[in-house]
Structure 1
Amino acid sequence: MIYQRPGSEGFYVSHPSSLGPAVEAAGGRKQCFVPDAVSDPGSPSSVIYADYHNHPSSTRFSPEDLQARRQRFYFRVMLNPLCEMYLYDFQARTVFQLKDGKFAVIKRVTDDIRGE
């Protein structure tokens, strides 16, 4: 999770979402379990902005990552084995890739993709 402690201007990062069992999909892809809360004894009332997870074999967000029913926070961040970083802005329905220190738009997410 990426979160902010009340009264702090900085952001904090917890462990990435943990991998779960294989989903019933081609290639035995994995699913992740996004925690409901941050375990930070120094801040029991943190504001969570994003979940993040690694993709051990894929280089882009999976279709499941983009579905509306799986979004609980403002953003989803993903890192892949190629050391690339992607960000999905759920509200703007836009996927970005970090390039040269800036996030560049690479995809607009439609209702069909979001599962609405």
Structure 2
Amino acid sequence: MRVEKVNENTLRVSMTREDLSQRGLKILDLLGNRERVLEFFLSILHEVDEDNDFASDAPVTFQVMPNDGGIDLLITKMNKDNDMPEEMRRFFEPEANGVGGEADEDEAA
């Protein structure tokens, strides 16, 4: 596995088929079990984020691209104020996902 810091908000993790196999995965597994995929992504993030730069409260996105029999992962830390497109900002806002907002305030009253 090779890790490259693209910029302060993005890491590129290049994994071979052997790297995936050592973690008990095949490329096609990334299309299947959602919980297993999430567990895999989080384990990679914890492994490569040695300085805990990406362990903040900001959302993190993963992009997966095939490469020579393996995969490249682009792990991007989103800055909710500046970098995030409006559609993604709404997605990550608690009110947009049924958490917080007026409905919860009404229930609490």
- TM-score interval w.r.t. the shorter chain? under 0.3
Query: Which structure shows the bigger proportion of residues in strand conformation?
Result: 1
The structure number with the bigger radius of gyration is 2
